[in-house]
């Protein structure tokens, strides 16, 4: 069948066959199908959707467009953890070394940030000298030696996804659940883990803005993973305000290190109490969430989780001295305070707007190739619902120059309100497991 016939089928709301999808993916990766035709098919999918079978076949075709990583030489159940992202999301930085300290091998591949969401790889690169590029043998050897490695996704992993994502980004087809699900799961399947714990964020600081969309995305990703033979678990969390207090690459790593030292913000701990036990259960190290959290607490209080993080930094050529001396991180030359303009209660009205502040400061990117300033960011002194008085410091800005700091301050003030009535707190965290 010619590719134009495939476009016509999906345009008319008909179901694509496995052969249609395979022809589409292999032809595009081989350079045989032009971007304009693929863009037409993406828009047809965006408008007419895909059923579960189509989404699964698209995912597998994308996963098999490149290498499938074989992690069988790593003993134990390999558990991957993926978040759909948000503002101040440093969950992986904390959860992975804790799980590894409890005996769950963490062979983790993560991505870079784009737009208002930060990327785990960018955050790690704020550690002086640390390399997120390891050979396959180095990657596997490190996980066997210390239980934990965290690297960037290789160019040979699901190359079809990279090509399609670039087109989706410029054709207004990013926000399509079948395309989001196949993009995420193709990389996760290709990365070779036995089990995946998904964190689906929703709210004003997430790509999924409402609960229904989050549940739909979680359901289809669980279904894809189960059909691929994986143990799937999903946690849905709220992202209507930044997670924790630090927003920005190096600042979030510092907050993660503090958490591994036992000093953790309450909202971050609330998420960890769900995510980490699911990782423990999937990895065969706990039978209940209560047992999983008890083991996690022991790993932190004993210092073992912090030691694992230190060992990972050293193994990947970073300076482990950052754990005890935060001045070794890139330092922003300018700090400024934002003060409450009236008495009342803080309310975050646009979490994504707060994430945009970091982009304004130069700490986020518009294109994947863009260089970013790893030292800049925000330190929120109060959370939504906290009572403040006029003149109280509610935010500290870390900036490279005063002009950007002022622009970020304006954006921040547009993203919050101070109200007379305490805002209703968002506490939505629940699991959807197989």
Does residue 114 share a domain with residue 210? yes
User: What's the CATH number where 171 sits?
Assistant: 3.40.1030.10
Does residue 341 share a domain with residue 280? no
Does residue 288 share a domain with residue 148? yes
- Non-local CB neighbours of 267 within 8 Å, separated by 6+ positions: 243, 244, 383
Query: Of 393, 409, 427, which Cα lies nearest the Cα of 361?
Result: 409
Torsions phi, psi for 3 (to 5 deg):
-65, -30
Rounded Cα distance between 42 and 161, Å, is 12
The domain boundary, picked from 307, 325, 343, lies at 325
Residue from 80, 89, 161, 350 carrying the catalytic annotation: 161
- When divided into structural domains, the chain yields a total of 3
Q: Can 183 be counted among the known catalytic residues?
A: yes
Does residue 184 share a domain with residue 83? yes
The domain boundary, picked from 304, 325, 346, lies at 325
Does residue 178 share a domain with residue 158? yes
> In the 3-class helix/strand/coil scheme, how is 382-404 assigned residue by residue?
CCCCCEECCCCEEEEEEECCHHH
Question: How does pLDDT run across 15-49, given as a tens digit for each residue?
Answer: 999 999 999 999 999 999 999 999 999 999 999 99
Residue from 65, 126, 182, 183 carrying the catalytic annotation: 183
Q: 347 with 419: CB under 8 angstroms?
A: yes
Does residue 138 share a domain with residue 206? yes
Does residue 201 share a domain with residue 141? yes
Does residue 228 share a domain with residue 146? yes
Q: Which structural domain range is residue 208 located in? A: 79-325
Q: 122 with 113: CB under 8 angstroms?
A: yes
Would residue 297 count as lying in a domain? yes
Q: In whole numbers, what is the pLDDT of the chain averaged over residues?
A: 92
- Non-local CB neighbours of 427 within 8 Å, separated by 6+ positions: 238, 270
| Other CB atoms within 10 A of residue 345 CB | 17
Residue from 162, 168, 202, 359 carrying the catalytic annotation: 168
Would residue 44 count as lying in a domain? yes
Rounded to a whole number of angstroms, the CA Rg of the chain reads 22
Tell me the percentage of the chain whose pLDDT exceeds 70: 95
Rounded Cα distance between 52 and 49, Å, is 10
Does residue 95 share a domain with residue 243? yes
Q: Can 135 be counted among the known catalytic residues?
A: no
Question: How does pLDDT run across 340-358, given as a tens digit for each residue?
Answer: 999 999 999 999 999 999 9
> Which tokens sit at 30?
């081989």
Would residue 67 count as lying in a domain? no
Would residue 60 count as lying in a domain? no
Does residue 307 share a domain with residue 178? yes
Would residue 344 count as lying in a domain? yes
Would residue 314 count as lying in a domain? yes
Does residue 183 share a domain with residue 107? yes
Q: 218 with 198: CB under 8 angstroms?
A: yes
Q: Can 161 be counted among the known catalytic residues?
A: yes
> Which tokens sit at 142?
């490190």
Residue from 10, 78, 82, 245 carrying the catalytic annotation: 82
Does residue 353 share a domain with residue 239? no
User: What's the CATH number where 26 sits?
Assistant: 1.20.970.10
Stronger pLDDT, 318 or 113, i.e. the higher one:
318
Residue from 187, 188, 285, 411 carrying the catalytic annotation: 187
pLDDT score at 434: 47
Question: How does pLDDT run across 235-252, given as a tens digit for each residue?
Answer: 999 899 999 999 999 999
Indicate if the pLDDT at residue 77 is higher than 50. yes
């Amino acid at each position: 069948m010619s590719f134009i016939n495939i476009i016509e089928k999906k345009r008319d709301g008909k179901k694509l066959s496995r052969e249609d999808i395979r022809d589409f993916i292999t032809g595009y990766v081989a350079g045989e199908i032009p971007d304009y035709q693929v863009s037409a098919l993406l828009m047809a999918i965006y408008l007419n959707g895909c059923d579960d079978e189509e989404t699964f076949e698209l995912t597998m075709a994308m996963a098999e467009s490149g290498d499938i990583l074989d992690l069988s030489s790593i003993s134990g159940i390999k558990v991957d953890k993926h978040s759909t992202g948000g503002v101040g999301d440093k969950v992986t930085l904390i959860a992975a070394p804790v799980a590894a300290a409890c005996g769950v091998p963490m062979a983790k591949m993560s991505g870079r940030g784009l737009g208002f969401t930060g990327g785990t790889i960018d955050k790690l690169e704020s550690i002086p000298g640390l390399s997120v590029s390891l050979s396959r043998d180095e990657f596997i050897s490190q996980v066997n030696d210390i239980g934990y490695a965290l690297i960037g996704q290789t160019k040979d992993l699901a190359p079809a996804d990279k090509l399609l994502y670039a087109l989706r980004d410029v054709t207004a087809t990013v926000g399509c659940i079948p395309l989001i699900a196949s993009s995420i799961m193709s990389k996760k399947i290709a990365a070779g883990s036995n089990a995946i714990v998904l964190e689906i964020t929703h709210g004003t600081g997430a790509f999924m803005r409402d609960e229904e969309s989050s549940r739909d995305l979680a359901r289809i990703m669980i279904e894809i993973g189960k059909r691929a033979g994986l143990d799937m678990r999903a946690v849905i969390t709220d992202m209507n305000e930044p997670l924790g207090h630090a927003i920005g690459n190096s600042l979030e790593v510092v907050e993660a290190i503090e958490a591994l030292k036992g000093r953790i913000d309450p909202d971050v701990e609330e998420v960890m109490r769900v995510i980490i036990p699911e990782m423990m259960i999937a990895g065969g190290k706990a039978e209940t969430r209560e047992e999983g959290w008890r083991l996690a607490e022991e790993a932190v209080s004993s210092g073992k989780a912090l030691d694992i993080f230190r060992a990972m930094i050293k193994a990947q050529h970073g300076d482990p001295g950052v754990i005890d001396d935060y001045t070794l991180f890139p330092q922003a030359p300018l700090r400024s305070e934002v003060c409450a303009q009236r008495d009342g209660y803080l309310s975050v009205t646009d979490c994504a707007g707060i994430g945009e502040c970091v982009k304004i400061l130069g700490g986020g990117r518009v294109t994947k190739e863009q260089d970013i300033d790893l030292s800049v960011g925000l330190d929120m002194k109060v959370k939504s619902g906290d009572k403040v008085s006029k003149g109280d410091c509610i935010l500290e800005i870390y900036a490279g120059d005063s002009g950007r700091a002022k622009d970020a301050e304006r954006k921040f003030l547009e993203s919050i309100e101070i109200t007379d009535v305490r805002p209703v707190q968002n506490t939505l965290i629940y699991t959807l497991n197989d």
